Amino acid sequence: MLTEFGKIFIFILVAILFTIIAIYAAKLIRPSRPTKEKLDVYECGENIEGTPWVKFNIRFYVVALIFLIFDVEVVLLFPWALTYQDYGIYGFLVGIIFLVVLGLGMAYEWRKGDLEWARPTPKKVDVKFEKKNLLQTNSQINVESEN
């Protein structure tokens, strides 16, 4: 007797076996002639520079944290989706309250600009200052011309 999970397990088993067999069969068949270039880390044909270990921006971490929180929300809503019909309007409302409270967290994040990524902004030119300079030079020119 095979349960539904048993079928899934057979799928997983076949997938794992298929990958392992494919990799090792290839290893047995293919010729092996390593050179230094072949063993290097592939970097778009360039010579390797530095370690691949770069420090991430902390912003990625915030996104990952938010993802975790909403992942938990999804997990909690999954049982709700299956059973809310049994409890009528009451069951529906409970889910909605939960969703609204968590949606507020999302809206807050959006509103506070945490979903907008820093773009390179062109350096602003101080227009007033430039104008003043321009006027000054103009007046100087005027003065000079008067002279």
Interacting residues with another protein (CB under 8 A): 5, 9, 53-56, 58-62, 64-69, 71-76, 78-80, 82-84, 86-87, 90-91, 94, 97-98, 100-102, 104-109, 111-112, 114, 118
- Cα distances from 127 to residues 18, 122, 134, 137, in angstroms, run 66, 14, 10, 15
Q: Using the minimum distance from each CB to another protein, give the nearer residue, 31 or 52.
A: 52
Q: Compute CA 58 distance to the chain's CA centroid, rounded to the nearest angstrom.
A: 12
Q: How far is the CB of 93 from another protein (least distance, A)?
A: 10
Size (the chain), residues? 147
CB 91 within 8 A of CB 83: yes
Tokens matching residue 32: 């092996």
- Cα distances from 20 to residues 17, 28, 35, 67, 82, in angstroms, run 5, 12, 25, 32, 37
Q: Using the minimum distance from each CB to another protein, give the nearer residue, 31 or 122.
A: 122
Q: How far is the CB of 35 from another protein (least distance, A)?
A: 25
Q: How far is the CB of 89 from another protein (least distance, A)?
A: 12
Q: Using the minimum distance from each CB to another protein, give the nearer residue, 42 or 60.
A: 60
Q: How far is the CB of 62 from another protein (least distance, A)?
A: 5
Q: How far is the CB of 11 from another protein (least distance, A)?
A: 13
Q: Using the minimum distance from each CB to another protein, give the nearer residue, 93 or 141.
A: 93
CB 72 within 8 A of CB 102: no
CB 59 within 8 A of CB 117: yes
How far is the C-alpha of 147 from the C-alpha of 145, rounded, in Å? 5
Q: Using the minimum distance from each CB to another protein, give the nearer residue, 107 or 134.
A: 107
